Chains A and B, each alone.
Chain A
Amino acid sequence: MANEINRRDFLKLSAIGGIGVVFASALPGMARAAGQDDFYFVQMSDTHWGFEGPPNPDAKGTLKKAVAAVNSLERQPDFIMFTGDLTHTTDNPVERRKRMSEFKDIVKDLKVKTVRFMPGEHDASLDNGKAFQEFFGATHYTFDHKGVHFIVLDNVSDPRASIGDEQLAWLAADLKQQKSDAPIVIFTHRPLFDLYPQWDWATRDGAKAVDMLMPYKNVTVFYGHIHQEHHHMTGHIAHHAAKGLMFPLPEAGKAPTRAPLPWDPAQPYKGLGFRGVDTDTKTAESKLTEFPVVKA
């Protein structure tokens, strides 16, 4: 894949006392100058509240443990972003709302009170985001934090995995307000590029969004959906997928199906985790730290 990041070139890995792993950008021209202003946020993803099954025998406890882990971070984030699939899908609209209510009740224990949400297909695709909006508000929106412009893109309320022309027009209008060197961070659920369409790991009109973002020099995308860490470049735009918090999924194409990986009793919670992101306020360049649900 021409755009696949060469890990040796892009990432420097170093374990931090068994707690997490730091991924620092080392792309030419992307090295950070010490002392620049930055801030810290946490990305949590794919909590799938309501899931039950052998891939996670602690399905009712994992999210609570993750909340406790975030609360115990030495450096508390400015805000926390949940990038979709807060709940596991159900065909029953009453049960869907019950799961959203329970999820909300658990994450209210996060010490950081600026918590933002966006839907995944499990939350929103069966009712076009209706229940999600009742509990969490808009499915796409923007906000600004310390000079960085954040755009939350919804590619799940349409069950066809499209952003849709209306939202794309909204995106175009928003981007028009930004300078070409503005630091921009995109949050979305599905990958905006064709990661692996054979497993539905794509957004049907994601290329249109990426094309709109290309004229902007400082863009980074964070997403979920694939329940594993993954890094990819489309041109100069970095796309970072987060681990999930219910069950890990196999690497694209490395298993016969995209069924959850089995729970390993010898290494419980393996493959699950959340991410801390140290963001440069000038360039939106990010330093990522991956945290497990429980310390090893």
Chain B
Amino acid sequence: MRFDKNALRVAVAAAVVALSSLGAYVAAQSAEPKEKIIKITAKKFNYTPGEVTLKKGVPVILEFRSLDVIMGFNLPDFNVRADIVPGKATRLRLVPDKTGTFVFLCDVFCGTGHEEMNGKLTVVD
């Protein structure tokens, strides 16, 4: 059997490139932090937790569940909102781009205590 030295060199080079690419991919996956999921439960007539603190520029996933009726989540200062339908998780990705304290509220009229159903988001540096 006769080796084609050139073919062998090409194969080895290709393997090295492939392995280094894979390494780069794995490194990228582990370097990119998984977005934190913040679970928020909605029920007549409050959110739990009712106060959430986030870091500016750090993306998070807000995951909502309603324990009774259709609720809303509205964070007007960040122009994000979602319906929260009972029986399923509703997710919103948020990258807070400013610091301060902001109101979030239920914007789907849900009953006698609807107008008191709100919470506070604090964004810090």
- Contact: A91 with B112, CB < 8 Å? yes
CB-defined contacts of B105 to chain A, threshold 8 Å: 198-200
Query: What sequence of 0s and 1s flags, for each residue 203-217 of chain A, a beta carbon within 8 Å of any chain B beta carbon?
Result: 010000000000000
CB-defined contacts of B118 to chain A, threshold 8 Å: 257
Tell me which of B76, B83, B109 contacts A125 (CB under 8 A): B109
Query: What sequence of 0s and 1s flags, for each residue 73-111 of chain B, a beta carbon within 8 Å of any chain A beta carbon?
Result: 010110000010000000000000000000101011111
Q: How many residues of B contact A (CB 8 A)?
A: 18
Category for how many chain A residues contact B: 10 to 19
- CB-CB nearest in chain A for B117: A200
User: A76: CB under 8 A from chain B?
Assistant: no
- Contact: A159 with B112, CB < 8 Å? no
Tell me which of B74, B83, B112 contacts A197 (CB under 8 A): B74
User: A149: CB under 8 A from chain B?
Assistant: no
B90 to chain A minimum Cβ distance, whole angstroms, is 14
- Contact: B111 with A198, CB < 8 Å? no
- Contact: B108 with A159, CB < 8 Å? yes
- CB-CB nearest in chain B for A196: B76
Tell me which of A89, A198, A257 contacts B76 (CB under 8 A): A198
CB-defined contacts of A258 to chain B, threshold 8 Å: 115
A190 to chain B minimum Cβ distance, whole angstroms, is 11
CB-defined contacts of A91 to chain B, threshold 8 Å: 111-112
B32 to chain A minimum Cβ distance, whole angstroms, is 34
Ranked 3 nearest A-B pairs via Cβ: A125-B109, A197-B76, A159-B109
Chain A positions within 8 Å of B, measured between CB atoms, are: 89-91, 121, 125-126, 156, 159-161, 197-200, 204, 257-259
| A-B contacts besides A159-B108, A160-B72, A160-B108, 11 pairs, CB < 8 Å | A89-B109, A89-B112, A89-B114, A90-B112, A91-B112, A159-B70, A159-B109, A159-B110, A198-B105, A257-B118, A259-B116
Ordered by A's residue number, 27 sampled pairs between the chains whose C-beta atoms are within 8 Å are A89-B111, A89-B112, A90-B112, A91-B111, A91-B112, A126-B109, A126-B111, A156-B109, A159-B70, A159-B108, A159-B109, A160-B107, A161-B107, A161-B109, A197-B74, A197-B76, A198-B76, A198-B103, A198-B105, A200-B105, A200-B107, A200-B115, A204-B107, A257-B116, A257-B118, A258-B115, A259-B116
